[in-house]
Amino acid sequence: MPSRSSDKLELLQGTLDMLILKTLVFGPEHGHGIATRIRQSTEDALVVEHGSLYPALHRLQRDGFISSKWEKAVDKNREHKYYRLTAAGRRQLVQQQSKWDELVRAIGRVMRPVPEG
Where along the sequence are the contacts to another protein (CB under 8 A)?
A: 1, 30-33, 36, 49-52, 54-55, 58-59, 61-62, 64, 68, 79-81, 88, 91-92
Nearer to another protein, 69 or 109 (CB): 69
With residue 68 as reference, give the H or E element that holds it. strand 66-72
How far apart, in whole angstroms, are the C-alpha atoms of residue 49 and residue 34?
A: 12
| Residue whose CB is less far from another protein, 50 or 99 | 50
SS3 95: helix
Q: How far is the CB of 26 from another protein (least distance, A)?
A: 18
CB of 54 to another protein, least distance (A): 5
> Counting Cβ atoms within 10 Å, is residue 39 exposed (0-12), middle (13-18) or buried (19+)?
middle
Cβ at position 59, least distance to another protein in Å: 5
* Residue nearer to another protein on the CB measure, 81 or 109: 81
Closest CB to another protein among residues 32, 109: 32
CA atoms of 60 and 105, how far apart (whole Å): 26
Q: Considering the complex, what minimum distance in angstroms separates the CB of residue 24 from another protein? A: 16
Spatial strand order in the sheet of 29-30: 29-30, 79-85, 66-72
